[in-house]
C-alpha cells in the first residue's frame, strides 16, 4: 500500500518551504535538496497553489512560500487534495468489473479503514511534521553536520 | 492510495471460496468469475496457502477451500500477510533518500495513520465481508456453521 510520489513530494515540499519562512524558495532548490525531478515538482506546486496551500511569486526574484501558517495547513486535507484517488480496491474505482459488488461488504469495510487513515492525518498540521529545533536553516543538513561529535 | 491487486484479489478469492463451503473450488473458476489472470491467482493461492488461510488439495478432483471458518479469518491479518509493503512514503522504505529523515516527523504521523487503517480492518473477519442473504449461490456458509453452538 502506497501513497503516490505526488503526495509524498507535496508534503516534503511544504515541509521544506515551512522551514524557510524568512524567504521565498525556488522549485529548483527543493528539487536539488530532495533529489526530486523539477518537472514533477512544478506540477505539484501548481496543485498546491490551486488548492491554496502555496503561493507562487512570478518573475525575477520570485519563488514559492506557504499561503498559510504551518499550523493552519492540515495534513489530512493536503493528502485528500493531492492524492489522485483512493481506490484501494477495484470496486472503489470507476473501472469496477467485480461480480461481487452488489452483495459484498468489502467496499464498506475498506472505506471505513480509509476513513480511519485520513481521520488520523486530520489530527495533524504541517507544524506537527517539522523538526523540533526551531530556527535552523536545515533539518536537512549534510551528514557531517548531522553527526556532530559529542564534545 | 491503493492496495496492490494482489491483496484485492486475495480478499475476493477468499470471499468466493467462503461462499461455496460445500465443495472445493478451482483457481480456474475464480479466475473466470472475476476475470482475473489465472497465473496471478496461482501466486496468490500459494501465499494464502503458506499463511494458513487456504487449503489446497492436489490431484484429480482437487481444488481449494478455506483452511479456517470465515469468522476465524481476520481481514487485517490477511491484508498484512498479502500486501507486499506499506511504504506509504519514501522514508518508510528501504530506498530512502530523503534528507529530512532525521528530524522529520512525517514517518511517525503516516505510521500512525497506517495503524488506524489496519486497526480498522482488524475489527472484521471474512464472515463480515460476505453478502447477507443466506442459502443463495452467492451467499455463503450456512449461519448454523458460522455460529457454532456453545454446548
Across the strands, what pairs with B55? B65
Position B94 scores a pLDDT of 62
Smallest Cβ–Cβ distance between B88 and the set A1, A16, A102 belongs to: A1
Out of B28-32, B99-103, B133-137, B147-151, pick the least confident. Answer: B147-151
Q: Which residues of A touch B99 (CB under 8 A)?
A: 33-34, 140
Asked if B5 and A90 come within 8 Å (Cβ–Cβ), the reply is: yes
- Cα atoms in the Cβ-side hemisphere of radius 13 Å centred on A68: 15
- How is domain A5-131 classified at the CATH fold level? Arc Repressor Mutant, subunit A (1.10.10)
Q: For residue A114, give the chain B residue with the closest CA.
A: B117
**What is the model's pLDDT at position A97?**
62
Residue A146 has pLDDT above 50, yes or no: no
The pTM of this model reads 0.80
The verdict on a CB contact (< 8 Å) between A98 and B133 is no
Predicted confidence (pLDDT) at residue A32 exceeds the cutoff of 80: yes
Mean per-residue pLDDT of chain A: 84
Contact A100 B131 (CB under 8 A): yes
Minimal C-alpha gap between B124 and chain A (Å): 8
Q: Look at residue B133 in the predicted model and tell me its pLDDT.
A: 58
Residue B142 has pLDDT above 50, yes or no: no
- Closest in A83, A113, A129 to B109, CB measured: A129
Q: d(Cα A30, Cα A102) in Å, to the nearest integer?
A: 47
Amino acid B140: pLDDT: 40
pLDDT for B11 beyond 80: yes
Q: Which residues of B touch A107 (CB under 8 A)?
A: none
Q: Map out the domains of chain B as residue ranges.
A: 5-142
Chain A positions touching B12 (Cβ under 8 A) are 98, 100, 106
Q: Output the nine-digit C-alpha cell for B15.
A: 470471499
State yes or no: pLDDT of A107 exceeds 60: yes
pLDDT at B90: 77
Mean pLDDT of B124-144: 65
B5-142 placed in CATH 1.10.10.10? yes
The predicted pLDDT at position A34 comes to 85
ipTM over 0.85: no
A35/B97 touch (CB, cutoff 8 Å), yes or no: yes
Residue A46 has pLDDT above 90, yes or no: yes
* pLDDT tens digits for range A12-27: 999 999 999 999 999 9
Residues of B in contact with A16 (CB under 8 A): 100
B15 → closest Cβ in A83, A85, A104: A104
Residue A151 has pLDDT above 60, yes or no: no
- Residue B93 confidence class, pLDDT cut points 50, 70, 90: low
CA distances to A55, A119, B31, B97, B106 from A52, in Å? 7, 21, 46, 28, 21
Asked whether residue B14 carries a pLDDT value surpassing 70, the answer given is yes
φ and ψ of B57, to 5 deg:
-105, 120
Residue of B33, B85, B89 lying closest to A3 (CB–CB)? B89
pLDDT above 90 (res B117): yes
Q: Where are the beta strands (DSSP E) in B18-140?
A: 54-57, 63-66
Distance CA B7, CA B42 (A): 13
pLDDT band at B128 (very low <50, low <70, confident <90, very high): very high
Amino acid at each position: 500500500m502506497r501513497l503516490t510520489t505526488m503526495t509524498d513530494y507535496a508534503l516534503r515540499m511544504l515541509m521544506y518551504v515551512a522551514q524557510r519562512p524568512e524567504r521565498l524558495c525556488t522549485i529548483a532548490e527543493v528539487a536539488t535538496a530532495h533529489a526530486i525531478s523539477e518537472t514533477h515538482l512544478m506540477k505539484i506546486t501548481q496543485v498546491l497553489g490551486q488548492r491554496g496551500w502555496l503561493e507562487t511569486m512570478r518573475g525575477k526574484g520570485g519563488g514559492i512560500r506557504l499561503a498559510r501558517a504551518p499550523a493552519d495547513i492540515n495534513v489530512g486535507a493536503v493528502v485528500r487534495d493531492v492524492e489522485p484517488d483512493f481506490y484501494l480496491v477495484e470496486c472503489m474505482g470507476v473501472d469496477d468489473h467485480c461480480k461481487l459488488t452488489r452483495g459484498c461488504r468489502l467496499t464498506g469495510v475498506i472505506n471505513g479503514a480509509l476513513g480511519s487513515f485520513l481521520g488520523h492525518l486530520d489530527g495533524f498540521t504541517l507544524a506537527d511534521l517539522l523538526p523540533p529545533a526551531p530556527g535552523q536553516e536545515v533539518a536537512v543538513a549534510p551528514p557531517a553536520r548531522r553527526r556532530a561529535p559529542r564534545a
